[in-house]
């Protein structure tokens, strides 16, 4: 989608959107390839024992067609919400494709969700069908009485009492299916926000959302796709990052995707997977990168041959970037977006679009600014709220059933992100923190990212998060919550060492006046720290 220009300013000026009036994600990412190259490799499913199953576009088309017919036979049609509650596996891709071709609305749900989280989302969305496994079905069975709209559940692990066996149902269905005709603006997908600040909201997206992502995939992955590319992410495909930053764009480009279920993220297993599966492109969220950093370097232990690594979802930080370049031999290009409007800012070191401490610049096709409370762009160097101007093909249609919340998301034509940022004199966008995360201490406004980046440089620290704690003298003080590396022991002396480390490397007003040692940080299923819970704890 990006023109063959390797100068950022010229690339941004030259880019134009070309969104067709009629468009269907399922047809685009599957049938388009299956019709001309049915044997083309689409997915590489790596089992826990290391065995691999290869799935072609032809197989993916037949599977998704059968599933579409099964869903239609159970009354699922245009506009109906169908939940997908599965780990990374081929059935996830087939389910999404089937739902899109049926003109339904896919509702991806994380396998880590408990019964309350699932019940809320399924009720709120009015889901008519669920595709899951035995573990997912066990959770749904506990709350099914509260789900009056749910008419059919398909399980990939065999029929349960109250569900149908996925494989058996598909074996009886036709492999022929005529996809519904959909407009690019028709709803296709609903992803719930991560809920770091209150109840999650369903962000409803149109079919065009995939096309809107493409420039934001191509730029941080050094003009993806290139010959030999093969994509993997540890991010759950139920998250916008896993689904729209990896799975669907790769299938659009005809690039194979590696699927691997991790019960718990393990750095050495991740290194081994990248080496053994021949991964060339990876989207690795900052938290996962920090966990990889806490393990011995893969250099000399694994034959990892990455061409690109992108990261986003939280501020990456200079430390993680430098470690990644040393460990993988490639620049980690940071990108930024939200569930409501994803991949709108990016770095691309290959063309000189990189500045330490910044996220990058606006991806071609998107107008991103830092605005004040009246919706006016602020001057360079001034802190404000990061915002994206509409219309934009990657932008959500609305919050499901929440018209007021949808209206409140905008100031004029600017979609507000709730993130504080600053644009420097050269146009680089710097992330400071969520509105609620910015700490006000003795007149200073302090973003948590820089302090957290400094904290993990301390040799004893594996992970860290900072929040503001109310203080009668300074309004707030900086409090750090620290997860130590294996073999380290919490003590007052270590806390003082950590405090002095930050004071020395940053400044006196930013060092944490309190340090608390905890076993693990509270995180959303997408790997973001839930600072709201830490503020309550503080």
Concatenating the DSSP letter of every residue in 14-41 gives H------SB--HHIIIIIHHHHH-TTSE
Section 106-127 average pLDDT:
92
Is the pLDDT score of 386 beyond 90?
Answer: yes
Is the pLDDT score of 480 beyond 90?
Answer: yes
Is the pLDDT score of 403 beyond 80?
Answer: yes
| Cα 507 to Cα 324: distance, rounded to the nearest angstrom | 26
Q: Name all domains of the chain by residue range, CATH numbers in brackets.
A: 20-207 (3.40.50.12780), 436-537 (3.30.300.30)
Transcribe 56-84 into DSSP letters: EHHHHHHHHHHHHHHHHHTT--TT-EEEE
Please give the pLDDT value at position 445: 66
Per residue in 62-74, pLDDT (tens digit) is 999 999 999 999 9
DSSP state, 43? E
Please give the pLDDT value at position 195: 54
Q: Map residue 491 onto helix, strand or coil.
A: coil
With residues binned 3-state (H G I as helix, E B as strand, rest as coil), the percentages for the chain, rounded to 5, are: 30, 25, 45
155 - beta bridge partners? 132, 165
| Cα 301 to Cα 298: distance, rounded to the nearest angstrom | 5
Section 174-202 average pLDDT:
88
Please give the pLDDT value at position 496: 96
Is the pLDDT score of 319 beyond 90?
Answer: no
Section 327-331 average pLDDT:
95
Please give the pLDDT value at position 506: 78
* Conformational region of residue 228, where left means phi above 0, alpha means psi within -120 to 50, and beta covers everything else: left
| Least confident range of 99-103, 239-243, 441-445, 503-507 | 441-445
Three-class SS of 414-434: EEEEEEEEEECCCCCEEEEEE
Residue 215 CB burial class (10 angstroms; 0-12, 13-18, ≥19):
buried
- Number of neighbours of residue 47 by Cβ within 10 angstroms: 12
DSSP state, 348? B
| Cα 471 to Cα 475: distance, rounded to the nearest angstrom | 5
Please give the pLDDT value at position 364: 98
Q: What is the pTM of this model?
A: 0.87
Section 497-514 average pLDDT:
87
Please give the pLDDT value at position 194: 65
Section 370-392 average pLDDT:
97
Helix (H) or strand (E) holding 259: strand 257-260
Residue 92 CB burial class (10 angstroms; 0-12, 13-18, ≥19):
buried
């Amino acid at each position: 989608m990006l023109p063959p220009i390797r100068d950022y300013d010229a690339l941004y000026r030259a880019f134009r959107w070309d969104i067709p009036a009629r468009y269907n994600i399922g047809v685009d990412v599957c049938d388009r390839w299956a019709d001309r190259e049915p044997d083309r490799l689409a997915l590489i499913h790596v089992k826990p024992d290391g065995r691999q199953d290869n799935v072609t576009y032809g197989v993916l088309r037949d599977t998704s067609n059968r599933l579409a017919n099964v869903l239609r036979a159970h009354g699922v049609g245009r506009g109906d919400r169908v939940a997908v509650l599965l780990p990374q596996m081929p059935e996830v891709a087939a389910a999404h494709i089937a739902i899109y071709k049926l003109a339904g609305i896919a509702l991806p749900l994380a396998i880590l969700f408990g019964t309350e989280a699932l019940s809320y989302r399924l009720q709120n969305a009015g889901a008519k069908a669920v595709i899951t496994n035995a573990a997912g079905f066990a959770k749904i069975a506990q709350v099914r009485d509260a789900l009056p709209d749910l008419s059919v559940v398909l399980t990939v692990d065999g029929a349960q009492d109250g569900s149908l066996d996925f494989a058996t149902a598909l074996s009886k269905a036709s492999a022929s299916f005529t996809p519904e005709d959909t407009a690019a603006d028709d709803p296709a997908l609903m992803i719930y926000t991560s809920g770091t600040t209150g109840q999650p909201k369903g962000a409803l997206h149109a079919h065009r959302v995939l096309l809107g992502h493409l420039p934001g995939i191509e730029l941080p992955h050094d003009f993806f796709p290139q010959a030999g590319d093969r994509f993997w992410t540890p991010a759950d495909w139920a998250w916008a990052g896993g689904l729209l930053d990896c799975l669907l764009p790769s299938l659009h480009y005809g690039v194979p995707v590696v699927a691997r279920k991790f019960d718990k993220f393990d750095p050495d297993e991740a290194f081994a997977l990248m080496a053994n599966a021949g991964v060339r492109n990876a989207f690795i969220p900052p938290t996962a990168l920090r966990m990889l950093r806490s393990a011995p370097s893969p250099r000399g232990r694994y034959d990892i041959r990455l061409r690109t690594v992108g990261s986003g979802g939280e501020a990456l930080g200079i430390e993680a970037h430098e470690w990644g370049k040393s460990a993988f031999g490639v620049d980690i290009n940071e990108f930024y977006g939200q569930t409501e409007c994803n991949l709108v800012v990016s770095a691309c070191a290959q063309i000189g679009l990189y500045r330490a401490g910044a996220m990058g610049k606006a991806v071609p096709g998107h107008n991103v600014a830092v605005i004040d409370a009246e919706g006016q762009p602020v001057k360079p160097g001034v802190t404000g709220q990061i915002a994206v101007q509409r219309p934009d093909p990657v932008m959500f249609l609305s919050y499901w059933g929440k018209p007021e919340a949808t209206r409140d998301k905008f100031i004029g034509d600017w979609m507000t992100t709730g993130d504080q940022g600053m644009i420097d004199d050269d146009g680089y966008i710097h992330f400071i923190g969520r509105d609620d995360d910015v700490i006000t201490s003795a007149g200073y406004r302090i973003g948590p990212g820089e302090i957290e980046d400094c904290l993990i440089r301390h040799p004893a620290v594996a992970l860290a998060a900072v929040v503001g704690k109310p203080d009668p003298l300074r309004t707030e003080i900086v409090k750090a919550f620290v997860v130590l590396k294996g073999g380290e022991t919490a003590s007052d002396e270590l806390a003082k060492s950590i405090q002095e480390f930050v004071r020395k490397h940053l400044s006196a007003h930013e060092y944490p006046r309190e340090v608390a040692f905890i076993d693990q940080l509270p995180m959303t299923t997408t790997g973001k720290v839930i600072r709201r819970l830490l503020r309550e704890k503080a």
